[in-house]
Amino acid sequence: MEQTIFQHMETVRGITEESIKKIPEELADRVPIGFNNSIRWNFGHIAFIQERLVFAVLGEKMNVPSNYEELFSGGTKPADWKITPPSFADILSVLTEQKSRIKDAIEGNINEPLPDPFTNRLGITFHTRGETFLFSFYHEAMHMEAIKRIYRAITVE
């Protein structure tokens, strides 16, 4: 079963990686009417939250650039940015590298209990590393849908 889960991670992340390669970076920071965030924010947020759900919930060090929390954590938005965000190439590098680190950390440890149960903003409580990891697929898909909607809104303006 564990190998199926890792294959699913490769599939989900592969969709994300292909999307960031296809979207012109000049559209990355536009925030259409009705949206709070940009395409760049959503890609960075996927990377930051994946790191949080796999590593930080266990008290482990997150291995994304230090500015990702300021730029891409929940509740942030590009309108409040005081620093220059990373390029698509930089975000893609983080997204790609993250997969192997996650597999190395989780393989054989998917049922590892969290030091304390973790409850997310939706009120869902997780007890194991595997539970947070599996939820991250849902989270990534939600933000990929947001990216598609933002892209559509931008290209019809």
CATH architecture of 2-156: Up-down Bundle (1.20)
Cα–Cα separations (whole angstroms), residue 130 to 49, 56, 124:
15, 13, 14
State the chain's mean pLDDT as an integer.
94
Q: Across the 157 residues of the chain, what is the mean pLDDT of every consecutive 10-residue run?
A: 88 96 96 95 97 92 94 94 96 96 90 92 93 94 97 89
Nearby residues of 93 by Cβ (< 8 Å), 6 or more positions away: none
- Give residue limits of the domains in the chain: 2-156
| pTM listed for this prediction | 0.94
In angstroms and rounded to an integer, the radius of gyration of the C-alpha atoms of the chain is: 16
